Structure 1
Amino acid sequence: MQRPAPLGGAEFAPETTYLNTAASGLLPRSSADALRAALDESASYGTMGRDYFGPAAASRAAFARLVGLPEERVAVGGSVAVQSALIAASLPPGSEVLAPEGDFSSLVNPLAVRPGLTLRTVPLERLAEEVRPGTALVAFSAVQSLDGRIADLAAVREAARTHGARTYLDVTQAAGWLPLRADDFDHVVCGAFKWLLCPRGTTFLAFGREGTSGGEAWPEALHAGWVAGEDLAASNYGPLLRTAPGARRYDEPHAHFSYVAAERSLALIEELGVAAIHAHNTALADRYRAGLAERGLVPRPAPGSAIVSTPGLTDAEPRLTGAGVQVAVREGLLRAAFHLYNSADDVDRLLKLI
């Protein structure tokens, strides 16, 4: 078996064996340097810096390229839950929303609490077959946070098309390592602080061409503030005369420092390439699964995933933390997540300590 070395070169030199990207990613050195420079600048030019919109615009464009969309179909924000609430509000009363059992709360809770909607949950493996004529929206994660299972994206997309349902895909645990085409779905949301290596406060909401083609109107921009105006200089006071064209109408006043760092992090992901990162991450995950099998341990089935969650190992977490190995425990599972800055040595150290 090959021994993958870390990707990213001098961008990463963690003091820990970091295997917890499914919780949050490591910030690249160039991103941290840009953030420090922005903090220094804020002492003389304010916390919006000298160029408030530049880093967010560059980040929007980079994310759009990563998921195969034009940038005018991507909105920037700070919270997946807020963006989920926008999608929930776009559904007419009486709508049925279909979602996998146990999907992440930021995705499904705004849909669950919206008055007038019915949220129906089913096992992930049955999601496509459970789409029915009365289903208005299928909301699901491309990769499950708990155990790394990858949804059958093509099957769900086709089932939704057959029954006239919209699709809302969360790629928070997928973007950055799993090749994706956002154009295949109506709405795509991403918290970028995990596999895309951005700070918290960086999220994207993308609209596939299907969601706004054929004369269908864009959803109402219910949380539109001044940054959502077509003419920013004329959008500071009173109701907006016109919202921005395209997805920018859904922009939130963004956290400037988060996007300063995000611009550099997304550039690194683009430079390395999602295909190369995917091959690297899955090779490490497969190495770990093979080592578990040698010890008679069986992780939750999640073929092809960079996330490996294993029952019966939660008592190892304090020992791992004490040795500087960062993993997570979720619902009785020891979860390890392998990303571009990890190596075969990291896998072997984890196996030795469990």
Structure 2
Amino acid sequence: MHPTRERYAAGRGYLAACTMGLPADVTRAAVRRDLESWSIGAASGVDYSVIHDRARGHAATLLGRHASEIATGSQVSVFAGLVAASAPTGAEIVCVDGDFSSVVGPFLARGDLRVRHVPLAELAGAITDRTWLVSYSLVQSATGEVADAASIASAARAAGALVLVDTTQATGWMPTDSLDADVVICHAYKWLSAPRGAAFAAFSPRAIDELTPHAAGWYSGTDPWASCYGPELHLAADAQRFGVSPAWHAWVGAAAALELAASLDMTEVRSHDVGLANAFRERLGLGASDSAIVAWPDADGSALASLGAAGITASGRAGRARVAFHVWNDEEDVELTAGALGLGRRRATVSAPH
């Protein structure tokens, strides 16, 4: 059992951190205090800014960056959209075939970019001197596959290409503090267990210099409270220029959730989560993996239905059943899930996800 298990009000049979996390005690308390403060008219925009800045610092810790390299927003696709809007006409973007739409859609929507999709294992080799940007998720949402970030970064640097990485399915269960990337985007409502509506992104010096802050607003200045009115353009010199006005109530919960996550040893969390995932993979007859997500073919949805009938919260994606193991889970969850699928303690043969 992970030492933080008791901080969650629920968790038994909840295998859906890859869909939505569960709030820890500190997050629940912060949101309740905020609701009470707001309801009696004691909430303050200035106080929210202080909380937001604290959250920004914790986000920086999780990504291994300085707070000045972090911008905050609401969704992954918005940050990816800023990058897409900065791409020169005809630029080549290399993506993963079947990746989550938030890191693909903004580039396709332009209509004047050359977007190529390749299998994850071939991503590094697909980067050429013609590539302007490679955009991918560190952990694939549909399959749980973990990308070889070092090889991808090496190939991109050799070609002079920019690198965009979405860590929404990674940050919170594995270390993401040493990625070589120009833009690292994460939404905090999954493995980090923050309220939905709190996302953050790290920008390299090159990205800050070359990308245009198309969503510039009052929170894009060094001092947001002095950036409220025109006619001047108020832009921070650092990554805050890409930030947007924060959803205050979401960031109250996010500050508490990110502080807790930043205090954990992510190597230990990964060992716990992947250990449980591999124990379940063994029960399915699948080989060991380096992911906390387990996905297997379930075209007719029967496996997902069996899990739901047994009170197991799981998810289905791209014709697969999908479960995720996190800090609130333990070996009993492996047994319950295997039992729900009729596996018992016997190994079954299931074709590997592809």
The separation in 2 between residues aligned to 1:37 and 1:346, in whole angstroms, is 32
**Is 1:303 matched with 2:283?**
no
The separation in 2 between residues aligned to 1:274 and 1:346, in whole angstroms, is 21
Deviation at 1:324, TM superposition (A): 1.7
Corresponding residue of 2:352: none
C-alpha contact (below 8 Å) 2:12/2:328 kept by paired residues: no
**Is 1:7 matched with 2:3?**
yes
The alignment partner of 1:324 has SS state of coil
Give the direction of change, closer, same or farther, for the CA distance of 1:180–1:134 in structure 2 (3 Å limit): same
Q: 71, 81, 84: which is aligned to 2:80?
A: 84
Aligned length: 340
Q: 170, 175, 200: which is aligned to 1:179?
A: 175
Q: Which amino acid aligns with 1:230?
A: T
Corresponding residue of 1:255: 247
TM-score by length of 1: 0.91
The alignment partner of 2:104 has SS state of helix
Deviation at 1:210, TM superposition (A): 5.3
The alignment partner of 1:23 has SS state of coil
Structure 2: runs of 5 or more not aligned? 342-354
Give the direction of change, closer, same or farther, for the CA distance of 1:186–1:174 in structure 2 (3 Å limit): same
Give the direction of change, closer, same or farther, for the CA distance of 1:6–1:183 in structure 2 (3 Å limit): closer
Per-residue CA distance 1:78-114 (angstroms, 9 max, x = gap): 0111111101011111100000001001111011111
C-alpha contact (below 8 Å) 1:185/1:210 kept by paired residues: no
Corresponding residue of 2:27: 31
The alignment partner of 2:211 has SS state of coil
Q: 264, 277, 282: which is aligned to 2:256?
A: 264
1:1-354 matched pairs, under 5 angstroms: 5-14=1-10, 16-45=12-41, 51-181=47-177, 184-209=180-205, 211-212=207-208, 217-293=209-285, 298=286, 303-312=289-298, 314-354=301-341
Deviation at 1:285, TM superposition (A): 0.6
Q: Which amino acid aligns with 1:289?
A: R
C-alpha contact (below 8 Å) 2:27/2:253 kept by paired residues: yes
The percent identity for this pair of structures is 36
The separation in 1 between residues aligned to 2:44 and 2:17, in whole angstroms, is 29
Per-residue CA distance 1:31-59 (angstroms, 9 max, x = gap): 01110110111123366556121221111
C-alpha contact (below 8 Å) 2:11/2:328 kept by paired residues: no
C-alpha contact (below 8 Å) 2:182/2:207 kept by paired residues: yes
Give the direction of change, closer, same or farther, for the CA distance of 1:312–1:274 in structure 2 (3 Å limit): same
C-alpha contact (below 8 Å) 1:97/1:137 kept by paired residues: yes
Per-residue CA distance 1:299-326 (angstroms, 9 max, x = gap): xx78200000011483032232232210
Structure 1: runs of 5 or more not aligned? none
Give the direction of change, closer, same or farther, for the CA distance of 1:179–1:232 in structure 2 (3 Å limit): closer
Q: Which amino acid aligns with 2:144?
A: G
Deviation at 1:269, TM superposition (A): 1.3
Per-residue CA distance 1:51-85 (angstroms, 9 max, x = gap): 12122111111111111110100001001111111
Q: Which amino acid aligns with 1:159?
A: A
The separation in 2 between residues aligned to 1:342 and 1:15, in whole angstroms, is 6
C-alpha contact (below 8 Å) 1:143/1:151 kept by paired residues: yes
Per-residue CA distance 1:284-311 (angstroms, 9 max, x = gap): 0111011111xxxx4xx78200000011
Give the direction of change, closer, same or farther, for the CA distance of 1:302–1:195 in structure 2 (3 Å limit): farther
The separation in 2 between residues aligned to 1:117 and 1:93, in whole angstroms, is 6
Q: Which amino acid aligns with 1:221?
A: P
Deviation at 1:17, TM superposition (A): 1.2
Deviation at 1:162, TM superposition (A): 1.0
TM-score by length of 2: 0.91
The separation in 2 between residues aligned to 1:240 and 1:61, in whole angstroms, is 28
